[in-house]
């Protein structure tokens, strides 16, 4: 849901996995946890990472991801709220050395009944 939402709102490819060849601008989003608040609402913790061609470019990409998440999350029909857990922090890719920034948010989402 979040990768689809960010596609077209941030520059570059957005996926839930890292491709073998990382584009100049790339954002990965992945659910890293969360809890069921009740039968109808859950809190999903999501990590995002934005790559760029340089540290400055990655910082710009990260600020765009952050801005879209904080300002436009209401456009996702099942999302009832968003809390930033960790703002953008420099997180160079350990495999390639490429510049990237990461952050974490929690989305309060209408859940499927269990």
Give the residue extent of every domain in the chain.
2-110
Q: What is the pLDDT of residues 12-67, one digit of tens each?
A: 999 999 999 999 999 999 999 999 989 899 999 999 999 999 999 999 999 999 99
- For residue 8, the model assigns a pLDDT of 96
Per CATH, the number for 2-110 is: 3.30.2000.10
Q: How far apart are CA 80 and CA 73, in angstroms?
A: 9
Query: Bridge-partner residues for 82, per DSSP?
Result: 107
Element (H, E) at 93: none
Residues 6+ apart with CB under 8 A from 33: 44, 45
17 within 8 A of 27, measured Cβ to Cβ: no
Q: Assess whether pLDDT exceeds 80 at residue 112.
A: no
> pLDDT tier at 73 (50, 70, 90 boundaries)?
very high
> For the chain, first and last CA: distance in Å?
20
Q: Which tops the pLDDT comparison, 76 or 114?
A: 76
pLDDT band at 111 (very low <50, low <70, confident <90, very high): confident
* Other CB atoms within 10 Å distance of the CB of residue 49: 21
Whole-angstrom distance, CA of residue 64 vs CA of residue 11: 8
Helix H or strand E segment including 5: helix 2-6
pLDDT, tens digit, 9 for 90 and up, residues 82-102: 999 999 999 999 999 999 999
Residue 11 has pLDDT above 90, yes or no: yes
What distance in Å separates the CA atoms of residue 66 and residue 59, rounded to the nearest whole number?
A: 10
* Beta bridge partners of residue 103, listed in sequence order: 48
């Amino acid at each position: 849901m979040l990768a689809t939402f960010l596609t077209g709102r941030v520059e570059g490819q957005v996926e839930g996995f890292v491709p073998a060849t990382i584009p100049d601008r790339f954002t990965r989003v992945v659910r890293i946890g969360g809890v069921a608040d009740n039968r109808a609402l859950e809190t999903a913790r999501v990590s995002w990472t934005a790559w760029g061609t340089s540290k400055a470019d990655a910082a710009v990409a990260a600020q765009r991801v952050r801005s879209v998440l904080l300002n436009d999350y209401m456009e996702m029909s099942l999302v009832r709220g968003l809390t930033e857990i960790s703002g953008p922090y420099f997180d160079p890719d350990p495999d390639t050395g490429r510049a990237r920034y990461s952050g974490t948010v929690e989305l309060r989402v209408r859940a499927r009944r269990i």
